[in-house]
Amino acid sequence: MNGVADTSLSPSVSSANASDSEAGIVTGISALTATVFAQVAKAGNTFVSGCEFDSSGHCVIHNHDRQSSPASRTVDNGGGAQQNDVNGMAQPDRSQDGGNAEGAGNNAQMELSVEGEALLKSVEELRLSPYDDQTGQNISTWVRGATIGYGHLISKSEWPIYKNGITADQADALFAADVAPFVDSVNEAISVSLLQNQFDAAVMLAYNIGISGFSSSSAVSLINDPQTSTPYSNLESAWKAWNRSQGSVNQGLVNRRKAEWDVYSNATYEKW
């Protein structure tokens, strides 16, 4: 699937409901087109809580939403609310560069490559029937974490659309609608030049941890300025810190972070 709060809460998965008027734009899966998929994907925000961990072992909570752009999020750090933003970022340490793709300027709008899309789809795995993201089991009624296609989280109001499953072509259309905001969010959050493989890896990370989680992460801070102060010694450590689900280290996430890092650091597009 698709300031800092100092807390001991375990990560969890939840879905926010879309409005009835927006979610009701279609009455069945047969009516879905790429345009409708895009509308449905924007009908509501999906929230996923996740953790980085600071040097004291405390969970750093981010609110992950699938919005069209990485908005600043307000979190409580124990002393009042503060805003996370992604402005004012410096130039990168080019020793982090990898691969041989042509770099793009920080004002250029990059796109996910064919190789990046193929790997992300492979990692997400195609499921044409709804399933529980936490267990991997098919479901016949909506649950938090209900998922379909290539990691699309199903909000409760979307359930009537997806409950009977989708086709492979519909899954492709849904993926295209889902991934577009994450491509935009990486373009907005990263203020320095990236190679294509680095951009692809960043989109893959954002797609998994959410737009707000990505935009306010230590990984983004270190991409933009390797000298910035974070709880991590380097970018690789910050990247791979996103490895927990339900409060525990998850091997699937460990594998996923390694695959993303291999793409970022040496342009190796391989699933584990």
pLDDT at residue 147 tops 50: yes
Q: Domain range holding 121?
A: 5-266
Is there a domain that residue 111 lies in? yes
Q: In terms of pLDDT, which residue wins out, 12 or 57?
A: 57
Rounded to whole angstroms, how far apart are CA atoms 241 and 246?
A: 14
Mean of all residue pLDDT scores within the chain? 72
Is there a domain that residue 223 lies in? yes
Is there a domain that residue 272 lies in? no
Tell me the CA distances in angstroms from 211 to 9, 98, 119, 136, 227, one per residue in order.
20, 24, 19, 23, 23
Is there a domain that residue 123 lies in? yes
Residue 198's Cβ-count burial label (10 Å; 0-12, 13-18, 19+) is: buried
Rounded to whole angstroms, how far apart are CA atoms 161 and 29?
A: 5
Residue 108's Cβ-count burial label (10 Å; 0-12, 13-18, 19+) is: exposed
Confidence of residue 45 (pLDDT cuts 50, 70, 90): very low
Read off the pLDDT of each residue in 156-181 and give the average, rounded to a whole number.
Answer: 97
Closest-CA residue to 178 (of 154, 142, 161) = 154
CATH of the domain at 251: 1.10.530.40
Q: Which residues are catalytic?
A: 124
Which pLDDT score is estimated for 246?
82
Q: In terms of pLDDT, which residue wins out, 31 or 156?
A: 156
pLDDT in tens, 18-40: 333 323 333 344 444 444 344 43
Which pLDDT score is estimated for 108?
74
Which pLDDT score is estimated for 5?
30
Contact by Cβ (8 Å): 69, 63:
no
Which pLDDT score is estimated for 1?
65
Is there a domain that residue 124 lies in? yes
Alpha-helical (H) ranges within 210-244 are 211-215, 218-224, 235-240
Lowest mean pLDDT among 75-79, 184-188, 205-209, 239-243: 75-79
Is there a domain that residue 271 lies in? no
Q: How much is the pTM? A: 0.65
pLDDT at residue 165 tops 80: yes
Contact by Cβ (8 Å): 191, 106:
yes
Tell me the CA distances in angstroms from 116 to 75, 126, 131, 199, 248, one per residue in order.
32, 16, 24, 9, 28
Is there a domain that residue 188 lies in? yes
Rounded to whole angstroms, how far apart are CA atoms 64 and 48?
A: 5
Q: In terms of pLDDT, which residue wins out, 159 or 29?
A: 159
Lowest mean pLDDT among 107-116, 205-214, 237-246: 107-116
Q: In terms of pLDDT, which residue wins out, 75 or 117?
A: 117
3-state helix, strand, coil in the chain (%, to 5): 40, 15, 45
Rounded to whole angstroms, how far apart are CA atoms 84 and 75?
A: 8
H or E segment to which residue 52 belongs:
strand 46-53
Is there a domain that residue 18 lies in? yes
- Count of domains forming the chain: 1
